[in-house]
A and B are shown apart, each in its own frame.
Chain A
Amino acid sequence: MPVLSHVGRVALLAVFAVPATLVPLQAVVAAAPAKVQKVAIDNFAFAPQVIVVAPGTTVIWTNADEDPHTVTATDKSFHSAAMDTNESYSFTFARPGEYAYFCSLHPHMTGKVIVKG
């Protein structure tokens, strides 16, 4: 979230600070609707465990535990590196579907992202 909103702000500032010809308006429009959903990793659990998001949503997982965790798709379509304390991983879900994932280090930790159009 912080990263994305930062990008948006920079883009908007650029629009106001310089002649519009240098920054196509479309670029600003494209950045603005970016949807972000956060998932916490806390006490060896994904919270919320199941989320429902619109296509194009970027999900950001952040590990609050002292133990490292991963976000690994059950079908291996996406996976993070091991996240140490306070590290994050993000993935943008372009297409509708149900995406089950787990922590490959602690496989009893499972979660799901449901992308609905």
Chain B
Amino acid sequence: MGHDHDHAHERHLNRRSLLTRCAGWAGTAAVYSVAGGVVSSVSLDAALAAGKPAARTKPFTFVQISDTHIGFDKAANPNVHATAVQAVERIKAMPVKPDLILHTGDITHLSKDDQFDDARQILSGLDVPVFYVPGEHDFLDEGQGKTFLSHYGRGTHGLGWYSFDHDGVHFVALNNVAALKPGGMAHLGDDQIAWLKQDLAGLSSSAPIVVFAHIPLWTVYEAWGWGTDDADQALALLRRFGSVTVLNGHIHQVLHKVEGNVSFHSARSTAYPQPAPGAAPSPGPLTVPTEQLPSMLGIRTANFVRGNGAIALIDANFA
């Protein structure tokens, strides 16, 4: 298992008293998500089944941001820089500082160096380690990902996949936007799946797993390519674990699905919304009235409560 990447980031972690944060969550009984103002149970069964927390796991908070699309300047949002900054401001204002940020891809709109630099500049204001996976917009340079990998590939495997552990949770970063095949959906590829098998092999089934990738690992809408054609092979490797949380971006809206111990969650973009599956002739950027835009952009906070099953996800928009 290659954890070089993770150790590099761990060194930068600004650790604080975990006990303080733990107190904030004592007595929290339900795992919930808030989507569009409606509170709903996401994986209560998993939470109840969590049982005795493993000694090595500790409560912590992390944040998922997605689809910043730095460089986009069309009608759906002429100023994606400003809305990405807004995401950073929201994170800074959180009552509990997150231990880490996951960026689930489409960092840039056109894979340009200056767009990657701008994104890095915006997110560097957080003083929190950011873990990236590429979106297809980050892999469209002539080198088919070379620019992304030159910015974020150090210490990763293959075309940018890696894993790391944080306070008892195993995080797996996957790239499903490389070498896409005609007529199909997203694709992980045999090399990455072989690596995943090896990566997970040594883990106890009670280890909580967080998988993050850009395009959904469940089929949201095949006609728009919103799914991953070989995701089943990856999920087969993940099913033995008691708690698997799969986080993705790409579709610029909050959707959830639970399949046994595996829960899937897509996140809002910080840049612009996209239509609900099949609700428009194409999945292109959705232009809404200016005053409505903030309600359709957002970030996700994840509170790893305790033990081996409970991650509380809170999706907050910018309204």
A-to-B contact residues, CB < 8 Å? 43-45, 65-68, 70, 72, 74, 81-82, 84-85, 100-102, 104-108, 110
Contact = CB atoms under 8 A, between A and B. Distances in A.
B282 A45 contact: yes
A65 B140 contact: no
Contacts, number: 61
Given A105-B136, A105-B140, A68 B282 contact: no
A107 B185 contact: yes
Contacts of A72: 182
A110 B183 contact: yes
B103 interface: no
Contacts of A74: 182
B285 A66 contact: yes
B37 to A, nearest CB: 28
A85 B74 CA distance: 9
B185 to A, nearest CB: 7
Given A43-B281, A43-B284, A45-B282, A110 B182 contact: yes
Given A82-B111, A85-B74, A107 B282 contact: no
B267 interface: no
B179 to A, nearest CB: 9
B142 interface: yes
- Sorting the interface of chain B by its residue count into under 10, 10 to 19, 20 to 34 or 35 or more gives 20 to 34
B74 to A, nearest CB: 4
Given A105-B137, A107-B180, A66 B284 contact: yes
Interface string B260-296: 0000000000000000000001111100000000000
B25 interface: no
B182 A100 contact: yes
Given A82-B141, A85-B74, A104-B180, 20 more contacts: A44-B283, A66-B76, A66-B285, A67-B284, A67-B285, A68-B137, A82-B110, A84-B110, A100-B182, A102-B182, A102-B183, A105-B137, A105-B140, A107-B182, A107-B184, A107-B225, A108-B183, A108-B184, A108-B185, A108-B222
A43 B111 CA distance: 22
A43 B280 CA distance: 9
A104 to B, nearest CB: 6
13 contacts: A68-B140, A81-B142, A82-B110, A82-B140, A85-B74, A100-B182, A102-B182, A105-B140, A107-B180, A108-B222, A108-B224, A110-B182, A110-B183
B284 A44 contact: yes
Contacts of A45: 282
A81 to B, nearest CB: 6
A78 B206 CA distance: 49
B225 A106 contact: yes
B201 interface: no
Among B182, B183, B222, B283, max chain A CB count under 10 A is at: B182
Interface in B88-132: 109-111
Interface in B139-191: 140-142, 180-185
B223 interface: yes
Contact of B284 (A65, A81, A108): A65
Nearest to A102: B182
A104 B141 CA distance: 11
A105 B180 contact: yes
Given A105-B137, A107-B181, A110-B183, A68 B110 contact: yes
Among A44, A102, A105, A107, max chain B CB count under 10 A is at: A107
B75 interface: yes
Contacts of A82: 110-111, 140-141
